[in-house]
Amino acid sequence: MIQVLRNTNEIAEAIAEMLFELMNKIGNKPIHIALSGGNTPKAIFSYLNETYGKRIANQRFHFWWADERCVPPTDEESNYKWAYELLLKPIGISNTNIHRVMGENNPEQEALRYSEEIRKWIPVENGFPLFDFILLGLGEDGHTASIFPHNIELLTSDKWCEVATHPTSGQKRITLTGKVLNNSEIVVFISTGASKALVVQNVAIDAKPEYPASHVKSQSGEVIWLLDKGAADLI
pLDDT tens for the chain, 235 residues long, are 999 999 999 999 999 999 999 988 887 899 999 999 988 999 999 999 999 998 888 889 999 999 999 999 999 999 999 999 999 999 999 999 999 999 999 999 999 999 999 999 999 999 999 999 999 999 999 999 999 999 999 999 999 999 999 999 999 999 999 999 999 999 999 999 999 999 999 999 999 999 999 999 877 678 999 999 999 999 9
Point out which residues pair with 124 in neighbouring strands: 129
**Entry field: residues in the chain:** 235
| Class at the top of the CATH hierarchy for domain 2-228 | alpha beta
Backbone angles phi, psi at 63, to 5 degrees: -105, 130
Which of 228, 225, 203 has its CA nearest to residue 213? 203
Position 218 scores a pLDDT of 77
pLDDT at 73: 98
62 and 33 Cβ atoms separated by less than 8 Å = yes
Alpha-carbon torsion (97, 101, 102, 105), positive or negative: positive
pLDDT at 27: 78
Contacts of 153 (CB under 8 A, 6+ apart): none
Task: Show me where the domains of the chain are located.
Answer: 2-228
What pLDDT does residue 57 have? 87
